[in-house]
Structure 1
Amino acid sequence: MSVNDDPNAQQREFWRNADVWVQEQERLDAQLGHIGLAAMETVEGLPTEANVLDVGCGCGQTTLQWSERVGGSVLGLDISETLIDVARRRGAAHAAERPETAPIAFEIADAQTADIAALGAAASGRNGVFGGFDLVFSRFGVMFFADSAAAFANLRAATRPGGQLAFVCWQTPRQNPWLVTVNKAVLEIVEMPDGGGPAVDPFAFADPDFVSDMLGAAGWSDAGLESFETEVLYGVGSTLADTAQFAMDLGIARRALAGHPPELHAQAKDAVIAALAPFETPKGVVFPAAAWIVTARN
């Protein structure tokens, strides 16, 4: 398959090795859940039988939350087979425990290139009469496309006229020291190898003008960005050393330290512990954070 056929091949490969995200699923849900809920609260006027698309759904927390809010169906998409396997297990358990909630389906798909309308029709059980999604939603899952405008045009094509878009993305690294602090500490110990830079850029949508222009180019209208300033809590009930390891496992530290001897790993971890110490509170390591809540209409 050529890069033209699979423009997000690097992303697919990156998220194929997502075991650490599975292992830390509960901690990540606790860390990010309140931000996703804030974005959900901005969505108003959905029809009673709304169909929702959850893009970059990961292990499925937001998909499950939408199933409790709408009466139609909810489809979670993610490029990672590893994460979708977990989401499907969670979805099955949720449906068994809460049969009154909206039906859920999860699909492994690239939202930039997939026939999303067809996936939505199958998920809703309305093949041939599916009118499109009433809402496209994402919690930090849409910043990584090779061609963002093409991806959002594809998402819009699967959305009914008048349908809504709502997602959250990070603002600047300066406003989100949760990642910068750890990476800086590690890269003072080891150098990033050639080609070892981040395969994903969580700050790709930090510039509000870029986001507005990109959505306009994709055909969305009435784009708006609302600043959401909050906190990110690391390591609830964990030691500082455990929190440092958690942060290193999820950042570029893993690639930077790959192949280095154990003593250098230990030195880097000590540096991260020292960098995190100023942010330690009685409830855990707490960082200031800032996200954009982005909305638009088809």
Structure 2
Amino acid sequence: MQMSDTNPQAAFWNSDAGHAWVENQAMLDHMFQPFEALLADAVRAGEQVLDVGCGTGATTLATARRVGPAGHSTGIDISAPMIATARIRAAQASLPASFACADAQHHAFEPAAFDAVVSRFGVMFFADPAAAFANLRRAARATGRLHLYAWRGAAENPFMTAAERAAAPLVALPPRLPGQPGQFAFADAAVVLAILQAAGWQEIRVDAVDVPCAFPAAGLDGYVRRMGPLGRVLPTLDEPRRHAVIDRVRGAFEPFVQGETVRYTAACWRITARADVIKG
């Protein structure tokens, strides 16, 4: 695994942020379940699939089910705690899946090994996105396909920013820096297109899609306390201030709660491409 002390993303995803995803794995899988189906539909029986930024493995396992015993799905992620969980899940499910704990930007993939490269919100964190996608293209066969989902802008995703907007008057949160690796790093479709062109991908499409997502309202408290920028700051606050922030933030999520279910729309880009031009 290429994880060094100079890689901020490696440090981040191997700290409490990675453990928070493991702790909330069931809720997050429920929330993002529609993307499992979308990515499974993008692969075929018998194929070799690479799942980039696979997290705790839900999309890797979904594609492994689709490719079946004649194929294989490989998940790669920089987070050791999430990869450990993914490996346990794959073993329990007895699926054709394996995992690498590594940085996909630098990892020495076998050349021309994969029929499809897929990702659910896992490609916005590279230090050098063009270099990363060039590495992924080398790992794909000439007929290999790219099929990714990435967030559009923060303004189009009010659920994803509700906690920090509500908490802002009460506590200082880490800023989201434009142009830096992070959740909304691919917000600009023109930037995404330029990255993939520079990396050598062909037949590129960047299409806006809105995906309805939902999870049980019982999981909202864990989401507020552990996920996103607020989840990283809450443990540093004294108890009275922490309770004041949580109470304020809970109110900000009320518009998304419908009975026993939290519902929101994920405003995304569906990004597709081919490793080479298909002739004939």
Whether TM-score is above 0.5 comes out as yes
1:67 corresponds to which of 59, 64, 67: 64
Alignment RMSD, CA only? 2.2
1:268 aligned to 2:261? no
Give 1:154 deviation, angstroms.
0.4
1:204 match: secondary structure: coil
The aligned residue for residue 284 of structure 1 is 261
1:256 match: 233
- Per the TM alignment, residue 60 of structure 1 is displaced from its structure 2 partner at its CA by 0.7
Structure 2 residue identity aligned to 1:183: E
Establish whether residue 217 from structure 1 lines up as the match of residue 198 from structure 2: yes
Retained in 1: the 8 A contact 2:48–2:114? yes
- Per the TM alignment, residue 37 of structure 1 is displaced from its structure 2 partner at its CA by 1.9
For 2:48, the equivalent position in structure 1 comes to 51
With over 3 angstroms needed to count, the CA separation of the structure-2 counterparts of 1:222 and 1:7, relative to structure 1, is farther
Q: C-alpha distance in 2, partners of 1:288/1:84?
A: 28
Asked if 1 retains the 8 angstrom alpha-carbon contact of 2:83 and 2:100, the reply is: yes
Q: State the partner residue of 1:105.
A: 98
The residue type equivalent to 1:116 in the other structure is F
**Pairing of 1:12-161 with structure 2 (within 5 A):** 12-17=10-15, 18-41=18-41, 43=42, 46=44, 48-70=45-67, 71-95=70-94, 103-117=96-110, 131-161=112-142
Give, as a single letter, the amino acid of the residue that structure 2 aligns with 1:146: A
Cα deviation for residue 200 of structure 1 reads: 5.4
Mapped partners of 2:6, 2:133: distance in 1 = 14
Distance 1:259 1:74 in 2: 39
Structure 2 unaligned blocks of 5 or more: 276-280
**How far does the alpha carbon of each residue in 1:220-255 deviate from its partner, in whole angstroms, 9 at most, with x for none?**
000112222123324x051xxx61442241111133
Alpha-carbon separation, structure 2, partners of 1:277 and 1:134? 43
The secondary structure found in structure 1 opposite 2:193 is helix
**What amino acid maps onto 2:107 in structure 1?**
A
Secondary structure of the corresponding residue to residue 66 of structure 2: coil
Could you tell me the percent identity over the aligned residues? 35
Q: Which amino acid aligns with 1:274?
A: G
The structural deviation recorded for 1:289 is 2.2
SS in 2 for 1:296: strand
Match of 1:162 in 2: 143
Aligned pairs, how many?
Answer: 267
